């Protein structure tokens, strides 16, 4: 599979690295363009991929063209590529907020997949939510599943609106988790635990709880009740969280992220 990357940012590099690690493509079949020369030199030296002099040249080499640029550069790149893509080429966009209709009109191209990946993809533990235009055929959908599968799990949705919803959950979600981890580590240090021990306890608790929830056939509420003895320490802590409006605050935050995601696509 020949893959062209337009842009070599962190998420684009994560995808590139995962593709190479899983041997979906060889370095000689990956072509990269980027506005930063230092970035291209880094990708060439580290992965042995082919770097191109411009976006049009790179795009011409790929069966799949991955758009991994920043949203603020999209209009310029679309103008550059418009009319230069073959109808058979699959455009796979990981640009936050860029809707399919925007890409279709801006590129003058119909064969498009829009993806919302997340940062754990950088270690192969991500989850990507994606959708496709009707012009994307069965083989190209399978190519997409293979590419995204190198970074973790993938979920197809027929309705593009679900991409904005996923942006507010799995896309932004790692930041919510990191904030909670920061707060829990700080609280652990505040009550007297050494910072290194606090960090280890919090991360292992988080990872173990997530894996336990995945492995269990019980509802999350039931798992929570299993840990919460009446009148015990956990009940006391959860009471404080609810008094502070923890659940409603999380719902408010997700709603704000979802609204912003929709606005970015306007």
Domain with 112 in it: what CATH number?
3.40.50.720
Single residue among 128, 158, 188 that ends a domain in this structure = 158
Q: How many CB atoms lie within 10 A of CB 225?
A: 14
Same domain, 113 and 183: no
Does residue 91 have a pLDDT over 90?
yes
Q: Find residue 30's DSSP bridge partners.
A: 3
Same domain, 125 and 250: no
Stretch (H or E) spanning 238: helix 233-243
CA distances from 144 to 33, 92, 102, 154, 163 (A): 21, 8, 20, 9, 16
> How many angstroms separate the CA atoms of 114 and 131, rounded?
6
Span 46-56, pLDDT tens digits? 999 999 989 99
- Residue 262 has a pLDDT of 87
In a domain, 116, yes or no: yes
Which structure tokens are listed for 122?
């950088």
- Residue 209 has a pLDDT of 97
Same domain, 120 and 238: no
Same domain, 121 and 216: no
Q: Are 98 and 74 in contact (CB under 8 A)?
A: yes
Q: Find residue 113's DSSP bridge partners.
A: 92, 132
Which structure tokens are listed for 204?
């292992």
Q: Are 112 and 98 in contact (CB under 8 A)?
A: no
- Residue 8 has a pLDDT of 75
Domain carrying residue 238: 173-264
- Residue 36 has a pLDDT of 86
> How many angstroms separate the CA atoms of 57 and 50, rounded?
11
In a domain, 179, yes or no: yes
In a domain, 235, yes or no: yes
- Torsion, CA 241, CA 245, CA 249, CA 251, rounded to 10: 100
252 pLDDT band, cuts 50/70/90, is very high
Single residue among 126, 158, 190 that ends a domain in this structure = 158
Same domain, 141 and 17: yes
In a domain, 168, yes or no: no
What is the mean predicted confidence (pLDDT) over 15-42? 93
Same domain, 153 and 208: no
Q: What is the domain-level CATH number for residue 244?
A: 1.10.3730.10
Same domain, 107 and 208: no
How many structural domains compose the chain?
A: 2
Same domain, 143 and 198: no
Which structure tokens are listed for 101?
């209709």
In a domain, 212, yes or no: yes
Select from 122, 64, 73 the least CA-distant residue to 96: 73
> How many angstroms separate the CA atoms of 50 and 192, rounded?
53
Q: How many CB atoms lie within 10 A of CB 201?
A: 14
- Residue 55 has a pLDDT of 95
- How high does pLDDT run on average in the chain? 95
Does residue 92 have a pLDDT over 90?
yes
Same domain, 184 and 117: no
Predicted model pTM: 0.89
In a domain, 121, yes or no: yes
User: Between helices 10-21 and 37-47, what is the axis angle to 10°?
Assistant: 20
266 pLDDT band, cuts 50/70/90, is confident
**Percentage helix, strand, coil for the chain under 3-state DSSP, each rounded to 5:** 60, 15, 30
In a domain, 163, yes or no: no
Same domain, 75 and 202: no
Span 164-217, pLDDT tens digits? 999 999 999 999 999 999 999 999 999 999 999 999 999 999 999 999 999 999
């Amino acid at each position: 599979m020949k893959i062209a990357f337009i842009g070599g940012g962190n998420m684009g590099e994560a995808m590139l690295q995962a593709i190479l690690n899983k041997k979906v493509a060889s370095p000689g079949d990956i072509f990269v363009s980027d506005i930063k020369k230092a970035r291209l030199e880094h990708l060439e030296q580290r992965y042995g991929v082919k770097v191109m002099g411009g976006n049009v040249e790179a795009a011409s080499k790929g069966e799949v063209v991955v758009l991994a640029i920043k949203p603020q550069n999209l209009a310029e790149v679309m103008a550059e590529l418009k009319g230069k893509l073959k109808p058979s080429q699959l455009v796979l966009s990981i640009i936050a907020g860029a809707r399919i209709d925007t890409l279709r009109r801006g590129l003058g191209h119909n064969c498009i997949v829009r993806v919302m990946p997340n940062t754990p993809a950088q270690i192969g533990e991500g989850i990507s939510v994606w959708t496709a235009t009707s012009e994307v055929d069965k083989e190209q959908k399978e190519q997409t599943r293979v590419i995204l599968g190198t970074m973790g799990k993938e979920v197809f949705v027929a309705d593009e609106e679900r991409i904005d919803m996923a942006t507010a959950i799995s896309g932004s979600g790692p930041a919510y988790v990191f904030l909670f981890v920061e707060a829990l580590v700080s609280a652990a240090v505040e009550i007297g635990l050494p910072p290194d021990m606090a960090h280890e306890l919090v991360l292992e608790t988080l990872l173990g709880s997530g894996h336990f929830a995945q492995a269990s056939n019980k509802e999350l509420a039931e798992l929570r009740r299993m840990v919460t003895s009446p009148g015990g320490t956990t009940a006391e802590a959860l009471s404080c969280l609810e008094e502070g409006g923890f659940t409603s605050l999380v719902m408010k935050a997700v709603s704000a992220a979802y609204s912003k995601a929709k606005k970015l696509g306007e």
